[in-house]
Amino acid sequence: MEITELFVLAVGLAMDAFAVSVCKGLSAGRVRLGHAVTAGLWFGGFQALMPFLGWLLGVQFRAFITSIDHWIAFVLLGLIGVNMIRESRGCEEEMEASFGVKAMFPLAVATSIDALTVGITFAFLQVNIVVAVALIGVITFVLSAIGVRAGGVVGEKGKSWAELAGGVVLILMGTKILLEHLGILA
Residue span of the structural domain in which 125 resides: 3-181
> Is 91 a member of any domain?
yes
CATH number for position 83: 1.20.1250
> Is 93 a member of any domain?
yes
> Is 186 a member of any domain?
no
> Is 29 a member of any domain?
yes
The structure's pTM equals 0.73
Domains held by the chain: number: 1
Walk along the chain (186 residues) and give the pLDDT tens digit of each residue.
789 999 999 998 898 888 888 878 877 767 889 999 999 999 999 999 999 999 999 888 877 776 776 787 788 777 777 876 777 776 455 556 688 898 899 889 888 888 988 998 898 888 999 999 999 999 999 999 999 988 866 655 556 676 677 678 778 877 887 888 788 876
Return the HEC string of the chain. Answer: CCHHHHHHHHHHHHHHHHHHHHHHHHHHCCCCHHHHHHHHHHHHHHHHHHHHHHHHHHHHHHHHHHHHHHHHHHHHHHHHHHHHHHHHCCCCCCCCCCCCHHHHHHHHHHHHHHHHHHHHHHCCCCCCHHHHHHHHHHHHHHHHHHHHHHHHHHHHHHHHHHHHHHHHHHHHHHHHHHHHHCCCCC
